[in-house]
Structure 1
């Protein structure tokens, strides 16, 4: 099992930081200097905390910034890094970005979005939920009050995930997918095919639409509730302020 981070996005709502940096390298703890930490730092620290010694990072927008920091990140967290290039990062959405990592997924991964600030307890929860034939497990917040923008999930106790989309009434949802997934090696081939179908249908679709494609095909996707956990998806400056508040607690 290795780590996988999607860090190809531009994050234009976080300018001026993202004028020169990908979203995953926006500072969350400190602004600069040796003690500064980014979303990518926090995610790699989480991987190291749960014993993951290797990770792949999908890069695209401002990829040179990740290349420049690669060796320092490896030394800091003791996690060997492989960078995977998304050649359409500024044109297509992240269904294609995850498909670019299809070979890495064959090893089994914990996938983390490059804009999700969360504690290592999320990875611990996913690892504890393994077994019983589960192939894909989504980290699910069943506590948070939901609104229109969240990636909402409906689950069935017997059948797993039934629907995953932003486009549903919040009251219908079981919870919110927080952007962290455990994917077993046995799911890699079917997931890659579902992602390809998804971005060929519409390059602007999310990888969660690929998950929905799997569900439509009869593939079972499971969830693991993360409990009462402070986390945030950083899309804008208000989210960044929240992320900085949360990260100081870890």
Structure 2
């Protein structure tokens, strides 16, 4: 199993920081970025190989590749997303379809979270589970969150931002464990998703899998502080909590 980070996004709501950097390289703890924190988490749970999907301002990641490898004791493979500034992240994850075959812990390049999330996912493996989503079942939800509805014994039934928060079981935090056995089916679902609409999220690909009859499981992360950094308010919160991890 290897680590996988989606770091191709432009993060336009974080300008001027993202005028010259991808969102994953905006500092959140001194010189440390979300990518630094994620690589540290992966290393702490024993992952020594990490693939990073890059696109917008990818040259900044290429420039830091060797330094990141030395700092965290990992080997990085950079995967170019040629449509990062045009299409949404369903295509971005599809670009990593070959590494999915190794089994991955996938982390969005804008999620500040503690290593306990990765540990929770790894502890949830087994019993035929192929895809396990890290779920916050504690946080009070609003319209922007990626909401999930689960059904006992059936796993995920719906995953979308477009639902009444009161209906949701919790929020998907942008970290997933994907076993090798799920790689081919997920890649096909992602292709169907971005061919239907290139603006769709990879979570819409998850929904496509559910609609096809596949089971996606969840692992509740408990009560902990994390944030998806979309705007300057999120960045301030990320900087407040990142130093604690």
Query: Fold conserved (TM > 0.5)?
Result: yes
SS at match of 2:38: helix
Q: Give the count of matched residue pairs.
A: 245
**Who is 2:19 aligned against?**
19
Task: For residue 167 of structure 1, report the CA deviation from its aligned partner.
Answer: 0.3
2: distance between equivalents of 1:239 and 1:16?
A: 15
Task: For residue 248 of structure 1, report the CA deviation from its aligned partner.
Answer: 1.1
2: distance between equivalents of 1:201 and 1:52?
A: 34
Matches within 5 A, 1:1-250: 1-30=1-30, 36-250=31-245
Given the two structures, how large is their TM-score scaled by the length of structure 1? Answer: 0.98
SS at match of 2:145: coil
1: distance between equivalents of 2:224 and 2:192?
A: 34
Task: For residue 159 of structure 1, report the CA deviation from its aligned partner.
Answer: 0.5
Task: For residue 27 of structure 1, report the CA deviation from its aligned partner.
Answer: 0.3
2: distance between equivalents of 1:229 and 1:188?
A: 30
Structure 1: where are the runs of 5+ without partners?
31-35
Query: Deviations for 1:99-142, whole angstroms, at most 9, x for unmatched residues?
Result: 00000000000000000000000000000000000000000000
Task: For residue 245 of structure 1, report the CA deviation from its aligned partner.
Answer: 0.5
Query: Deviations for 1:12-32, whole angstroms, at most 9, x for unmatched residues?
Result: 0101110000000000012xx
Structure 2: where are the runs of 5+ without partners?
none
Given the two structures, how large is their TM-score scaled by the length of structure 2? Answer: 1.00
4+ runs deviating over 3 angstroms: none
